[in-house]
């Protein structure tokens, strides 16, 4: 039987969890955020603690990273995807 990797979906889920934790931790530390408890007893999402000004700063970073990508400069696209998701959730939550 030839070699085969199994359960790669579990690896993808693990990588997504690591990227999400790494990116949100960087945001929490940079903006000195304190996340509150939600109605289910868990911690609110980072997008709930961000202000519009902070979201604009994250959007500027994502835009700059997109321009760097077009110039063939390396950066981790999956972390940018996490930032995009946080930004989208913020706008959904704030109706903008």
HSE toward the beta carbon, residue 18, CA cutoff 13 A: 8
d(CA 75, CA 69): 7
pLDDT digits (tens, 9 = 90+) for 7-18: 888 988 898 899
Beta-carbon contacts of residue 86 (< 8 Å; ≥ 6 apart): 23, 24, 27, 45, 46, 47, 50, 58
Q: What is the pLDDT of residues 51-67, one digit of tens each?
A: 999 999 999 988 886 66
């Amino acid at each position: 039987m030839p070699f085969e990797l199994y359960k790669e979906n579990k690896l993808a889920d693990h990588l997504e969890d690591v990227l999400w934790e790494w990116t949100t931790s960087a945001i929490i530390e940079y903006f000195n955020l304190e996340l509150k408890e939600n109605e289910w007893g868990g911690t609110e999402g980072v997008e709930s603690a961000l202000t519009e000004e902070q979201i604009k700063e994250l959007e500027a970073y994502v835009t700059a990273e997109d321009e760097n990508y077009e110039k063939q400069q390396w950066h981790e696209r999956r972390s940018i995807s996490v930032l995009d998701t946080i930004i989208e959730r913020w706008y959904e939550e704030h109706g903008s």
